[in-house]
Amino acid sequence: MSHSFSPLIIRGRQLLPIVQGGMGVGISAKRLAGAVARQGGVGTIASVDLRHLHDDLLADAANLQGQEGINRLNRIALDREVRAALAASDGHGLVAVNVMKAVDDHAALVRQACESGAHAVVMGAGLPLDLPEMTADHPDVALIPILSEARGIGIVLKRWMKKGRLPDAIVIEHPNHAGGHLGAASIAGVADHKFDFQRVLQETFELFHSLGLARERIPLIVAGGVNSHQKVQTYLGEYGASGVQIGTAFAVTEEGDAHINFKRTLAGAKQEDIVEFMSVAGLPARGILTPFLKSYLKREDKLQANAKADPARCTQALNCLSVCGLRDGLAKVGQFCIDLKLAAAFRGEVSKGLFFRGSEPLPFGDAIKSVQETIHYFLSGEKPLDLTTT
């Protein structure tokens, strides 16, 4: 694919400077990750609760009791998804697995991703301080933390350097623009200027210098609100980033793994219907005002006032998160089962689902295009012919 940008280099692989973000439950799995990698970019499988993509595993889950049985099925599903994505990539690009630190089974999912042949493990939703230990038996797997500001980057770098390991790349995610769980302490905090890309990149380059690291030693990938070729030019050409991570624009592609109703809901969302709210993991989140979220936000104060720590409140007995507002009685955060709602969104159940989404308009409006067309636009600025007159 012809473009003017320098390649993103991770573990010696020369890649397009395009990273597809991990989106769960089931939004970015084998089809999407494999398609992005096949084009020469980084395709990312979101590891959370992938059993929903496999009817036989869902049937097995109906007969199980206890968290470990569900975790085992999800690891089987992850193995299937990684191997299928690698086959679909046909030896091109890079296949990564995103594992959230906040997920209770995160260490086992990391090991499974490595054993299944993933090229990289991406970790956010918490500081991945022990990721090198989790992957010690797989030294060739690239390690990519997701962070939002220079202070967190410094903490991870200094801790990893004591272990003789450096990140193979770092994703810098802006909470004010990304979808899903956001790396800020409060809803008001997502707009803090400490997260501005230009500032974080400059502070990180200064951090590299203070630690004796060459500026180009660790590629920096910016994420959140990347919705145009012009932004790619700015971030790579002016700010000094090595790549961009894109989520929502890939979620709505033809190859996206979710139901067509999910794609239409994301692509057709109006800006005034994209809102921030407190999710169950104790972090702000960004999603679409679907019937579920509208109803929940109307009842939020009452539900939070009645919050109580009770394992029975885990509606599916999953205990999927290490911290859960509903199960643990955390009154200031979400009081719903996030797994149940994200799984409904994956199935395209607009009335029941929780639909995470980035803050910015999509490059093709409500049109659903292919991964190839999407990547071509971000790198060249050329939109598909049927969009050029609209």
Ramachandran category for residue 20: left, alpha or beta (phi over 0 → left; psi -120 to 50 → alpha): beta
Residues present in the chain in total: 390
Q: Supply 194's token pair.
A: 């400490």
Ordered domains of the chain (ranges, CATH) = 8-266+359-381 (3.20.20.70), 269-346 (no CATH)
Note whether 113 and 91 are within 8 A (CB). no
Reported as a single tens digit per residue, the pLDDT across 171-230 is 999 999 998 888 888 898 889 899 999 999 999 999 999 999 999 999 999 999 999 999
Note whether 347 and 26 are within 8 A (CB). no
Write out the chain's pLDDT in tens, 390 residues: 667 899 999 999 999 999 999 998 999 999 999 999 999 999 999 999 999 999 999 999 888 766 788 889 999 999 999 999 999 999 999 999 999 888 888 999 999 999 999 999 999 888 899 999 999 999 999 999 999 999 999 999 999 999 999 999 999 999 999 988 888 888 988 898 999 999 999 999 999 999 999 999 999 999 999 999 999 999 999 999 999 999 999 999 999 999 999 999 999 999 999 999 999 888 899 999 999 999 999 999 999 999 998 887 776 656 677 788 888 888 898 998 888 999 999 999 999 999 999 999 999 999 999 999 999 999 999 999 887 544
Note whether 215 and 208 are within 8 A (CB). yes
* Nearest partner of 282 among 328, 316, 323, judged by Cα: 323
Output the 3-class SS for 193-228: HHHCHHHHHHHHHHHHHHCCCCCCCCCEEEECCCCC
Mean pLDDT of the chain: 93
Note whether 149 and 200 are within 8 A (CB). yes
Angle made by CA atoms 256, 4, 85, in degrees to the nearest 5: 25
Residue 38: other Cβ atoms inside 10 A: 20
* Nearest partner of 373 among 214, 240, 255, judged by Cα: 255
Q: What is d(CA 345, CA 249) in angstroms, rounded to the nearest whole number?
A: 17
Q: What is d(CA 366, CA 347) in angstroms, rounded to the nearest whole number?
A: 19
β-pairing verdict for 142-147 and 120-124:
parallel
Helix (H/G/I), strand (E/B), else coil: 346: helix
